[in-house]
Structure 1
Amino acid sequence: MDLKSILPKKNEEEEHLWSLVIEPEWVSAGIWKFTNKKVQIVSVSPPSHWSSDEELVTACDTSCSAVVTSISEEIDPPAKTVFGVMSSWVDGGEIKAEYLSKIKKVCTELSLSPVGFVVISEALSNYYKLEEGGNVNAVFLGVSKDSLEISIFKLGKLAGVSQVGRSVSIVDDVTEGLSRFYTGEAYPSRIILYNSKEGELEDVRQELVKADWESSEKVKFLHTPKIEIVQPDNKIFAVSLAGGSELGEVDGILALETPSSEKILDVKEDLAGGLPFSEETVLPDEPNLQEPVEEIAPEDFGFTVDTDAVSDNAPPVSNLPNVEAVEPIAEKTADMEGDSLNNNVRHEKKNLFSIFGKFKKVRSSQAKTPNMPVKFRIGSIKPTIFGIVFFLILVIGFFAFWWFVPSAEVTIYVSPQRIDDKTELTVDTLSEDSDLENMRISGQTIEDRVSGEKSIPSTGTKVIGDKATGEITVYRSGSEISLDKGALVKGPQGLNFTLDEDITIASGSVLTRGITKARVTASEIGAQYNLASGTTFTISNYSSADMEGTNESAFSGGSSREVSAVSDNDQKNLLKELQNELEEKLKESILGKASSDLFVIDDSINFTVVDKEYDKKVGDEASSLKLDLEIEASGIVVERETIEDIGLKYLSQRVPEGYTLKNDQIQADFTYKSEDDNLYVLDLFIGADLLPKIDIDEVKKNITGKFPDVAEEYLDNNVPGFSRVVIVFKGFRFPGKLGTLPRISSNIEISVGSEK
């Protein structure tokens, strides 16, 4: 089915459509129409927050309601809807099943009729093309609470998309995401940020502006990138422009009844529509990159042109209108790197051929040299003897060089034998002497303190606003009565007010009632308390027959809105993150303070929060939260020599024959058990990787002058635990039969290593 069969024809009455932009946590809506080859934006809503499926429906309803209340009563709310979604919602040109169910639920609950979808970043790219009159080279950065969506556009075409989880540093996250696209070429020097939380986007922009991109090793720009923020309404404009291209030729967009902001855009005629929801259609493999064109057509926004879903030649899309298929980043990068590699290879071959060409030319010129006649003459016997002596000197010199000069390094790797033991140990931080018989040793306390600060975006929300006020006329049938300030005044639908001051109502009868004017204030904030004139009120607990009130003028001033605020979880999460960072820094500092002759007992390190101060309280209106934190730590250290002595005491009797145990082979680990004042009870785990006893002089004697393979065979047969040998000749090694190990044993250096 063609999308044009769903959307209105050019000769039919103008029809309004919805644009619904769904981002992580935020929804915004707008109504538009296609008129005189232009997309006319009628109204746009402010963004509404959501976090669950139920809240998504409520947020969509809130945004749509805000739009409907702002348009003329002559306009009937539309049903047909074009959706703008993140690329993470799309797979192979189709809305993923998990997100398709969300869209269907929204459409069912709000009586909407889905006619197509477009990826927000692609729609924005084409909208900027319209605004700026040229293809866009930019990095579009969708910012949400938990992730970033990075889309790179080159010459207006999508080069790839990457999803990156949020961490502490937005600069590190952007660097990580961009590095996944790296092909050796510089990235576009323009970063465009979008989401619906403008305060957060400004914070992100400031961090990216302050970043030192020039010194970054992972990403390269031609120059410092320009950082821009997409206005929230522009996302509705972009999605509406995508939908308008399906109705016919589009040459401009009118934003919110503002003709002066009109931008002209030339596009092709007879643009066909996309497809409605379908569970059976699939997307064929199509290239994502195309040559840039001057026109913006429906294909630019991800819609199908002049085709039908049942046609074999049409590019089918599942569930919603077509979106250009995005090639996997890894494949795209591999292709780019492959092209670059092939170019390098061709370039290298060209250089090699040039060199060989010159070589052949020289050799050819030498070959053409004419043969010169050579004459021999037998001389006296003295030159002959001199020649023989000279030859003997050369032979003797060569032999001496071969015998005395060569040297080599031989590293023998052996498989170690592991031995372990465990014992209980008491550390006394007040004693200076150790008692190894009773496993009680002296120790020291080492302390340090560190402070730091950290900020995170706030995640909470709260409703703020003003209370409505007004004046009522109180009527009394009965004796005179006085009412105190704060007395309850009950309005319709449970809307309550209170008196602003003490009043006295004169006595009256049914025919002539006592009358008094009084100011009242709403009990809570909100526009629902702005009651129209003529509303009837009951006073306190009196019946309407005894006393009642009415307002001659409408109440005003009541309002409410949702703002970002600090939540209890924000403070807890910030404390946990910063405390972990500072504790890790403290631990490294304590380990660094301990000299090489000391063991630091990790389990004994205790951390204490000395001071913490938040810049905002829970419930305060704020887009971010900052914490200043100070932590101190203390730990126990013992002398390495003492631990090695304990290791020798417990392990020496377990050393097998042919192996040796040395102090530097002993390893130790501690587990904290208990503490009593200055006494710390620990479990000590000691172990060692034993190496076999090797007589280095005997080994040298037996491998001197041997070929490497012969030497390796000897080591395999005579060295316990032998694994392999690495022989490195220093300087020059003679070839062939002359390539033996040095003939002088002092020219061979032997070392023994452990095979891990």
Structure 2
Amino acid sequence: MSFLDTLLPKKEKSKYFLILQIGRITIKAVIWSANGNEIKIAGKGFATYDKPGKQIEAADAAILKAGKDLPENIEVNKVIFGIPVEYTDQNKIKKNELVKLKKLVNDLSLTPIGFIEIPEALSHYFRLKEGSPTTSLLVEVGVEYFSVSLLRVGKIHDSTTILRTDNPGLDLEKAFKTFTSIDILPSKIVLYDQGEDLEEIREELTKYPWQQKAAFLHFPKIEVLDSEIITNALVNAAASETTRDVTMENISETENIEEDKEESGIMNNESSEEKEMSEEGQNLESGIENKEEITIEEGITEEEVEGDNFGFVKDKDILEENITVSNDDIIKTPETKKPGIRKSTYLYQEPVLREEKEEYKPKIKLPEFKFKLPEFTFHIAGVLPVLLVIIFLAILSGVGVYAYWNIPTANVSLIVDPKIMDQQMDVTISPNTTIVDKDSKTIPGKILEITESDKVSSKTSGKKSVGDPATGEVTVYNKTNNSKSFKQGSIIMSSDNIKFTLNDDVTVASASDTGEGINFGKTTTKVTAVNIGPEGNLSSGTTFTFTDFPSSSYSAKNTVSFSHGTSREVSAVSQEDQDKLLSVAEDKLSKKAKDDLYVKLVEKEKLLEKSIKAFSTTKKFNKDVGDESSDLTLDISQNFKGVIYKENDLNELIKQIALGQMPEGYEFSPDKTVFTTDEPEVKKDGSITFLMKMKIYLLPKIDQEKIRNRISGKSFDQAQEYLKSSDNVVGVSMDLESPFPFGKDTLPHKPSNIKIGIATR
């Protein structure tokens, strides 16, 4: 070492960490390093397993992949587990999962230093990414289960796991209803897993009627989380325990890792003589109980550091020491600080405030300043500065009061119990009227027409034989006393029922008596087999009979074998091929017509989808049935009609129908009313009639202006007390937006800054 090296500061050594993200059928390994506040991902590995007994092999494979680019002198043996919600119960690792993790770390010579529940890591990640605490429903999609976590203002308030069926919407509805501590659910659902394609599930959930099935104020936004985000969230959460000033920008991925010959490769700069783990099979109850917990930063107790606690303990094996074994053999995690939000004991929900981002702040006392105002004599030079100061303070106070009066805003959601009326009626949409007629249940409408064309192709499935018929020459015999003429095309048949036709007209002389016997009349002629194929290649000496005459009168015989009969099987167009291709083309054009008709709608217009019909079709196939071909193409054009109506007209008709049965104090809610229709009947005048089945929602009348005036400037408790005195309101949720550090429990003083929303339970 040179003299200059002794004067320069030593390069800080990187510490290497391993994260194992555990799933039911997958394991992901991530090796990352920390050097000051700089975090680098050194490698990633992924493996799957199909049996619980294969979990250790999968973990070993994932770790090997993650560490394949590490220098030989770097050894990573301390591990942080990323585990799903179902692995824990009331901040404890379940016994059966603990046994598996214990065996894994023993077999792979690892030392566990902490674990992180994936929802907690995601909460931390979202807070750093978005700059403020978030509120959403986190849904882990497992092979056989859904694990749902309620994230409110950056904190996990509740979690539940439910078995998965073929109906994800119904499954999650049941899970959401277990969150009884809140009246209104977050309007954002985040799906994540460890490999399954979640787009199909997201599509199903977007079609589920959430506003009628669960306590959502608005239809929830449903997002799919990339699996890499989970990995980054785990690294970020773990890094926050080792490097308090870590941010999203500090984390990067690196491909090359410089070898440090002086580095031991053991995390936390421990020597190679570090105490080994206790022997496999040692009773877990020997662990140290209730030890004073210390954060990674030396000398800082937990009371002095506010922020996320992800279950880390410095220099302890969490499966051996930093645990207390309960009677049910479940290991406790280090106690985490509970979110500072009270839960209501009655149906009304406590106000939800936006919490400030939690971060470590040193306790610094400001010095006390003592000063004495100068004494002024009453002359012009002294009075003017005092007046200016007074005017400035008055203006500043006025601006402050004005800002405090006008800037804060609040959203107050009132939860009410609706009354639902089930109705059905025959509704007519007519292009011949312009008014809503309650008596005939007719609303105005109009017909839109559109032409759609397309060219579609498919492979043929039919088969046919092609080839040549057999040909030859026969001698025709006339056994009667009269001559006989046979027309071209007359059919002769062999004893095997193989038929041939005469190529030409032929006349055969009558039989004659020679005195020694009867000589049949005879003549020769060419014949061709009726069907193609080698079956017609008959040998010489074959006897034939005419199909239209008795064999006792006429017959034929070949003296030379027939030839040229061939056949082969080829693809051909069948009737089924044409029918299927036509059906596919018509379905495609029908969907395209629906989409194009929707484009033509203007604001507040609705399209009655079941009214869309094709009224004319032009089609042309490139091949006929029976033609030899492996491909079939169809050119098709169809004209469609669809009936549209105005949403306000239908709502007005429903409202008029409901008025006669509406209870006092209620009003019609068109936004929540839903209906279905049967197949419409088209009449000669162009109008259509259909049966409409409705669920009409009636909501209690709420004087929003009166409520705004009564609760403006009131504390949350006072506002809650007033609102819960109403018979119509069964729940309340409040959300305050204010930049001021004071008045966090007070609604805006300006009534127009309070937005009232109505939700149903």
**Bin of the TM-score, shorter chain as denominator length:** 0.3 to 0.5
**What TM-score comes out, normalization by structure 1 length?**
0.43
More helix as a share of residues:
1
TM-score for both structures, normalised by structure 2:
0.43
